[in-house]
Amino acid sequence: MLTFASQHPDANPLTDRKQSPDNLFTVAEETTLEFSEVSDGPIAGLLSRIRTALKSEDATSITAEQFAD
C-alpha cells in the first residue's frame, strides 16, 4: 500500500491523514537486539532482604473477613 501511495500521490488514500504534504512514510526494518548479562550487585541483595522482611505470614494469610472490613 505504501508503494502505491508513493507512486500515485493523487490517488493516495492516506493523504488526509498526513499532517503536512512533505511528511514521508517510514519503513519497518528488522534489527538484531543483543542483551548482556547483568550481575547482581549490592542493591539486589538489599531488595531481596526487603522482600523477605515484607513477606511475613501475617501479610500472606489475609482472609475474606479482613477484606470485608
> Looking at residue 59, what is its pLDDT?
54
> Looking at residue 6, what is its pLDDT?
76
Q: List CB contacts of 28: < 8 A, sequence separation 6 or more.
A: none
> Looking at residue 68, what is its pLDDT?
64
> Looking at residue 31, what is its pLDDT?
92
> Looking at residue 33, what is its pLDDT?
93
Question: Within the chain, which residues score under 70 in pLDDT?
Answer: 25-26, 56-69
Sign of the dihedral defined by the CA atoms of residues 20, 24, 30, 36, in that order: negative
Cell numbers placing 39: 550481575
43/41 Cα distance (integer angstroms): 5
> Looking at residue 66, what is its pLDDT?
64
Query: In whole angstroms, how large is the CA radius of gyration of the chain?
Result: 28
Q: Torsions phi, psi of 35, nearest 5?
A: -110, 145
